[in-house]
Every structure is written in C-alpha cells, then in structure tokens.
Amino acid sequence: MSAAMTNTEQKTIMDRLEPYLAFIGPMVMILAILIFMGIAEPARYFRLTNLNLILLDAALYMPMAMAMTFVITQRGIDLSIGSIAALSAILMAFLIKQYGFPAWVAVPLAIVLGALMGLINGLVITRFKVPDLIGTLAMDLVYRGLALVIAKGLVLARFPELITEIGRGQIPGFIPVPVVLGLITMAIGYVVLTRTYFGRYTIAIGSNPEASEMTGVAVDRHKIYAYVLMGAAAAMAGVMLTGKLNAIQATSAPYFNLHVIAAVVVGGTSLFGGRASMLGSLAGVLLLSMMINALVTLRIEFFWQSVASGVVIVSSVALYTWMQKKDRDGAHGLLAGLRSKEAQRLIRFSAALIGALILLLALGAGLATEPSPSG
C-alpha cells in the first residue's frame, strides 16, 4: 500500500510547454506579423488609429470565437453563424424601422432570436441525427434564404444611437465599446469553460462521448446548449455589425463561418475534440485581424484575404496534428515518409497529373488564335 506510483521519466521541454502551446502558437505568429510589418510598413501599421481599427475588427469576432470554442471542443461545427447573424440583425432592423420597437428591447430580442436559431441547429443535430456539418450547412441556406425573403435587396440603415454605440462607440481615451463587449464575452467564456458544469462536460463530451454518456452526463442537452450559445453569440455579432456599419442587408456577414473557425483552430482548440483554449481563441481572433489589416496596409488586393485565411487554417491544423503525433510516436524526419512505396506511387500520380496540365497548356498555347473580346 505504501509504494506510491510515480513516473520516473523526466519532464521534457515539450511537456512543460504543452499546456501553453495553444497560446504560444498564435503569439509567435502575431510576433512574426509585427516584425514583418515593422520592417515593411512601420509608419502606417503602428499608428494608434490603425491599432483601433484592428481591435474594432477583432471585436466583432470575439463573441463568436468564444461560443465556437465550445462547439468545436464538443467535436461539433457550426457553419450557419454568418446567416444567423444576418437574419437576426435583419429581424431586429425590421422591428425597429417598421414596427417602431425601442432599441433596448430589439437588441436583446435579436440575441434571443439567434439563440432560438441555435436551438433549431442543436435539435436538428441531436434529435434528427443529421451530422453537424450537413445540418448546419443546410440551416445556413435556410437562414440566409429567410433573410433574403424578408429584406429582399433592401439595405436598412440609420439606427438608434444604442446600436451604433454597440457597433462603433468609443470610450474617450480608451478602447472602443465593441472591444470591451468582446473582451467581456471572452472572459465569461473562460470562466464558463473552466468553472461550470457546461464547460466541464463540453471537454468531457469532446474527449470521450461514450464515457460521458456512461457517467451520466446529458450529452445531447449539453450539445444543444453549445449551439444555443453559438446562435446567441452570432446574433450579438450581427447587432455589432449593424451598429458598426449603421446598415444591414441580407447578404451581410458572408465570411463569418470560416473566419471564426479559423481563429478558434489557430488558437489551438482541436477539431478532434477535448482540447479547448479560450485564451488561444482570443489570440487567434487578434492574429487574423492583424493579418487582414496587414494585407490592407500593404495595399494587397482584398480578394487575397480569403487565400491567406485558408492557408492559415490548413497550416495551423497540420502543425497541431503533427505536434501531437510527435508526442506519441517519437520524432521522425519530415521527409522520411517520402521514401515509402506508397509515397512513391503518390508522387508518380501527382507528377502525371501535373504533366497532363502542362501538356494541355502547351497544346492550348500552340493552337491559340488571336483572342477576340467575348460578348
């Protein structure tokens, strides 16, 4: 009885760093951006007004990143948040403009409507057993469609002061109001994740759904809670967006989904469930906003933003997966895998594909005639 079980192995540097990895990762990337911009365009990037701009952009995504951290930690995904934001903002706008609702009622109403849409998502996934990817993608179409049905092509503009204050208000000598709101939601998210039943069960469900069920955790109910939170957060972002632009239309917020998922995943929350990092999500949101702002500052065409976001998602997921694999199997050279028979086949296949592309390009160039303007 006396002999205690102790592990004799020493803590490696990796072990010590592991818990903080989620935060260090984006921080290193943020640092890289700062250094790069410090060299490339210091005068315009490091202005106070630009810093304000970055924070203002990041604030919009903070509530959603907070909620998405819960959804992804439970091995879920929500692809409908852009449409939820648009639809709840449109509904709010109509209530104010058409029916004369006071803003202080319409704003919480929009958030409750968003929560309700999240509830529908949750029920579709848990009750109808539609996989989350398909379920929320389909509901994305539904919510976006409803927003278009209600608003047609209208742009609703000029909202009461409360809403513009939420979206772009400035606390004099301090940071913008939406940044304060965003940081508060992230802080609440952190407490909920670490100190409440919901947070604890979120990690348990993502880590081992069967075991959670066996130990009496209401798995479906807590999944629904996560989607409801997600819906409410998306609606909050919709209100903030409306205030920021002082206008809203049915096609607003098209890129919310991937931007938020990217921020959360870059922040070290694992798509495979169980690993959550609220601090990492905050760092991820800041990273993406800084990156996009850097692209704008460098006068790179707007459409490259989408390319950059995609590259950041793929590389960070690949990086985290690689690091976790290394933990278990011991290090192998990066190129060791290329020597296997299977890899050789894949290389030959890729070469053939690229060869076909080159051949067709050459053929097209060889047979090309003088281009004539179309239409």
User: Which residues form the interface with other proteins (CB under 8 A)?
Assistant: 1-7, 15, 191, 194-197, 199-200, 203-204, 206-208, 210-212, 214-217, 273-275
Q: How far is the CB of 269 from other proteins (least distance, A)?
A: 11
Say which residues have a Cβ less than 8 Å from residue 270's Cβ, sequence separation at least 6: 72, 73, 206, 320
Q: How far is the CB of 210 from other proteins (least distance, A)?
A: 7
Instruction: Give the nearer residue to other proteins in terms of CB position, either 185 or 212.
Output: 212
Q: How far is CA 225 from CA 206, 229, 343, in A?
A: 14, 6, 44
Please report how close the Cβ of residue 197 comes to other proteins at its closest, in angstroms: 6
Q: How far apart are CA 239 and CA 173, in angstroms?
A: 24
Q: Which is nearer to other proteins, 44 or 200 (CB)?
A: 200
On whether the CB atoms of residues 76 and 227 are closer than 8 A, the answer is yes
Q: Which is nearer to other proteins, 50 or 207 (CB)?
A: 207
Q: What φ, ψ does residue 108 adopt, rounded to 5°?
A: -60, -30
φ, ψ of residue 22 to 5 degrees: the values are -55, -35
CA dihedral 44, 48, 51, 52 (to 10 degrees): -130
Beta strands in 70-187 (DSSP E): 155-157
- Amino acid 310 reads G
Cβ-based nearer residue to other proteins, 169 or 206? 206
User: What minimum distance in Å lies between the beta carbon of 226 and other proteins?
Assistant: 16
Which residue, among 199, 220, 198, has the nearest Cα to 209 in the 3D structure? 220
Tell me the backbone φ, ψ of residue 155, rounded to 5 degrees.
-105, 115
User: Smallest distance from the beta carbon of 365 to other proteins, in angstroms?
Assistant: 55
Closest distance to other proteins from the beta carbon of 14 (Å)? 11
